[in-house]
Structure 1
Amino acid sequence: MVTELINANPVVYERKERRSRPVQMDTDEYAVEPIDQQEVFDHVRDIKDPEHPYSLEELKVVSEDAIEVNDAQSHVKVTFTPTVMHCSMATVIGLCIRVKLMRSLPSRYKVDIRVAPGTHASETAVNKQLNDKERVAAALENPNLLGMVDECLAPTYA
């Protein structure tokens, strides 16, 4: 993907063990599973970093603690932390998170993707790009960028 790495030797962390989620039953015995922090994390944890053969979880770019879910208001907020302050792939990483959640969550959810405060030199610009519908739509019309996103979202060793 990228020939010259911005962070050639990232710190790689151990993956957390997957936990099973209890299934709640409503009064008519249908499974009712509100979206929660763990479910959102399970969707984004295995996204492959665009520069490295590691997942966003392994690089601590995403963590369960940095996800906020308000199921009643259909709102999800994911805050991610690039591995370096000048990460040129921050927008691509955020776009991967957004696309993964667009494909995984029911369409009623509003999703906000943010760079953790103080973790990127262009934090405001990246946040603006990732949360502007027109900019996201335009980015996804670019076949090269869409190919990069699809490669990051492709199933791996999960």
Structure 2
Amino acid sequence: MTLGLINANPVVHAKKERIARSEEFHGDDAVDPLEIYDFVRDIRDPEHPYSLEQLSVLSEESITVDEKLGRILITFTPTIQHCSMATVIGLCLRVKLKHFFPPHYKVDIKVSPGSHANEESVNKQLNDKERVAAALENPNLRQLVDECLDSSEF
């Protein structure tokens, strides 16, 4: 058991087999939710040496695309209701996706409804450009995000 963690013993699931896909969109390609999922599923959890996929924080079904409105919605489910790392997870998703999708798409990142005690506050922080930019200017927070993104293979 690891001391000091909010969720010291998370449930860990097996990783699914990866489908070989391009890691960027080309021109007028349609935005594929499964392709987005494959791109972000290996982000490491800020507290554990497991991916968001392995902790079931993120799933294939948690990404939706509305081509007509040009919107991408990513919902994630923290492992516990009081997860202090929920905003860090959302920042990791946003940073990883920054150059992945066409610029005319609006990306919303939210915690799954009812999955976090401070759901409204977390969602507001993750979808406010100024708050996101300010958070990423914090060197310690930026380092944590970068560490989660650098660990793409487990």
TM-score, structure 2 normalization: 0.89
Q: Mapping of 1:1-158 within 5 angstroms?
A: 4-20=4-20, 33-157=29-153
Output the amino acid matched with 1:48. Answer: R
Name the CA distance, whole Å, in 2 between partners of 1:123 and 1:9.
23
Name the CA distance, whole Å, in 2 between partners of 1:105 and 1:119.
26
Indicate the RMSD between aligned Cα atoms, in angstroms.
2.1
Q: Per the alignment, do residues 72 and 54 of structure 1 end up closer, same or farther by CA in structure 2, a change over 3 Å counting?
A: same
Q: Deviations over 1:22-55 (max 9, x none)?
A: 9xxxxxxx98631111011011100000000000
Output the amino acid matched with 1:92. Answer: V
TM-score, structure 1 normalization: 0.87
**Segments of 4+ in structure 1 off by > 4 A?**
none
SS at match of 1:88: coil
1:25 corresponds to: none
SS at match of 1:104: coil
Q: Per the alignment, do residues 3 and 106 of structure 1 end up closer, same or farther by CA in structure 2, a change over 3 Å counting?
A: farther
Per the TM alignment, residue 3 of structure 1 is displaced from its structure 2 partner at its CA by 6.8
SS at match of 2:74: strand
User: Which structure has the larger Rg over C-alpha atoms?
Assistant: 1
Q: Per the alignment, do residues 155 and 7 of structure 1 end up closer, same or farther by CA in structure 2, a change over 3 Å counting?
A: closer
What stretches of structure 1 of length at least 5 have no aligned partner?
23-29
Per the TM alignment, residue 108 of structure 1 is displaced from its structure 2 partner at its CA by 1.9
What percentage of residue pairs aligned between the two structures are identical? 61
